[in-house]
Amino acid sequence: MNEIYVTVSGRLVADPEARNTKNGVPFAAFRVASTARRVNRTTGEFEDAGTSFVGVTAFRSLGANVAHSLHKGDPVVVHGRMRVNQWMRQDDTLATSVEIDAYSVGHDLSYGTTTFAKVSRAQVDRTDRLSDEAVQAAHARASGEELDAETDPYVVEDEEAFEPAEAALTNA
């Protein structure tokens, strides 16, 4: 089966959430809002088209770097593997979300400058990491879905408690 790879530019809806999977793999989950701008042929002015919201997950050192580097409102460019999820909500309505397993994340330099600090590179994990329960719970929380604290065994870690990028590689 072929994978779908996409590149999305937009702005972070909230600060990235740093967590670990139940197997101890560090990751950061965040949402990106991307709004298309189109020219109105009648007025000649640019207008906002619809806004798309995409859940993004970055694993291992990429996740650690994202958690320490990005903040709510930052303009970003994300490249990775896309997956569309559908599920039934508790009120029996169908819900759909788009998620990206990020391979590259960075600030969109069309809007400003940033400073780069080199760290070790992440290993490429070939399993379907987006299906991990902790990843799904983080995206559910970010999209406003209600989570039951008793059935969600994962806790949000403080940013200071999140492993530095170098430690994430040595523990992997």
Span 130-160, pLDDT tens digits: 767 777 777 777 776 655 545 544 444 444 4
Mean pLDDT, residues 98-103: 96
Strands (E), the chain: 4-12, 17-20, 26-39, 46-59, 75-88, 94-107
Enclosing H/E stretch for 67: helix 60-69
> To 10 degrees, the CA torsion angle through 168, 157, 30, 116?
-50
**Residues 8-59: tens digit of each pLDDT:** 999 999 999 999 999 989 999 999 999 998 999 999 999 988 899 999 999 9
Mean pLDDT, residues 78-105: 94
Mean pLDDT, residues 115-135: 62
Mean pLDDT, residues 101-126: 78
The pLDDT of residue 131: 64
> pTM (2 decimals)?
0.67
**Residues 45-73: tens digit of each pLDDT:** 999 888 999 999 999 989 999 999 999 99
Q: Report how far residue 91's alpha carbon sits from residue 32's, in angstroms, rounded to the nearest whole number.
A: 26
Whether 99 and 85 have beta carbons less than 8 Å apart is answered as yes
Q: Are strands 75-88 and 4-12 parallel, antiparallel or unpaired?
A: antiparallel
